[in-house]
A and B are shown apart, each in its own frame.
Chain A
Amino acid sequence: MTAATETSVTTQVYRVYIKATPKAIWDAITKPEWSERYGYGGRVEYDLRPGGHYRAFASEDMKRARAEMGGSPTPDVIVDGEVIECDPPRRLVQTWRMLMDVGTEAEGFTRLTYEIDEIRPGVSKLTLTHELEGASRLAMFLAGAMESMGAGGGWAEVLSDLKTLLETGESFHSA
């Protein structure tokens, strides 16, 4: 990896309004039975207390797709991290490291914050702030810059899909 010498602001901020309670959004983020139904579709494992671990696992679809390309096997755990702050269902701060790619793994842990505010009954504002100092490669993935190559649309796609799932009961991308 090239050394990350850039000092520019490397935070990404995403916001979406969802017709759902903060509790429903919190569950969708932190519970495996929900995490499998949108975005990249992997199961998550959260130990929801400061210092507790976080892991996201590769879905079977993901493993199959990568195996079809005939390369090295997909790791079981594709993202790991640690819970820093946990205030359900309003605020979750954690570290986040992507393990699917040696480049992003070498960039190490980044800091991710979810904030959920109920703006009126049954409508919530979800703001995701990802601090990506020294993680320029990961930042490209998460911004969807590699989507045309099939790497997925990053956080924007995940949050759009989450909104669709919670509002319609069906994920846009689960065919």
Chain B
Amino acid sequence: MSAANLKEASMTDRRSFIARALAGASTLFLTGCYDLSEKRWFTHFLGKVEDLTRTAQHLFAGPHTLAPEYTKADIAPVFRANGTLDPGTPEYQKHVANNFQDWRVTVSGLVDHPLSLSMADIRALPARTQITRHDCVEGWSCIGEWTGAPLALILAAAKPRPEARYVVFYCADPMTVEGDPEHFYYESLELSEAAHPQTILAYQMNGADLAVAHGAPVRIRAERQLGYKQPKYVERIVLVDDLKSIEGGKGGYWEDQGYTWYGGI
């Protein structure tokens, strides 16, 4: 072996050593981070960060600032439907068959005046139409036009009690949780976010009745929140003072799967 070859070989050795050392360091780092992700104290710390983010965003956004609204020209030609595309249960199919004439949205829990609203009742309320941007937690956005009844009007009619802090939405789409099919999508918002002027119980999208894939007959639009905070197929609205006793205790289907309850970022 010539001297040049030897040098070449030692260079290659050194390079592969450096590459292996880097790969090893990266693996060690990643394994460490993965282990941390499953440690109780670390997830507790991440929960504190979520509180910090929520507090900071509340400070800047306040209860009344409006999400940007767009023009008809900005409306997406194809608005992606995500999550449940069709609840598919026999009960839901019956509602589809009779055009949701018997669909009711109830308001109960910590209210003085429980309500049971038909679709006609909801449509009879003063409507708000808004062209807004839907931001999915996955990263994509679509702009669409939504028409519906401001949730603030419905909540006001139900007269929330002073101790009510959260508004929980129970939906008609079944979600399988660990092989148990008896779970349905649910979500929750702070009372102030639920009463935000752009939070509506939407029954129209782009001028037409909501399609099944988009949550027919009614879905929540909460325009300062990510998509998973805006449940579709809403049947029951319940005001509560605490989320811990509901389902997985985290305030929503995706929250119970590890997503943050605060969905403003």
Q: Are both chains from one complex?
A: no
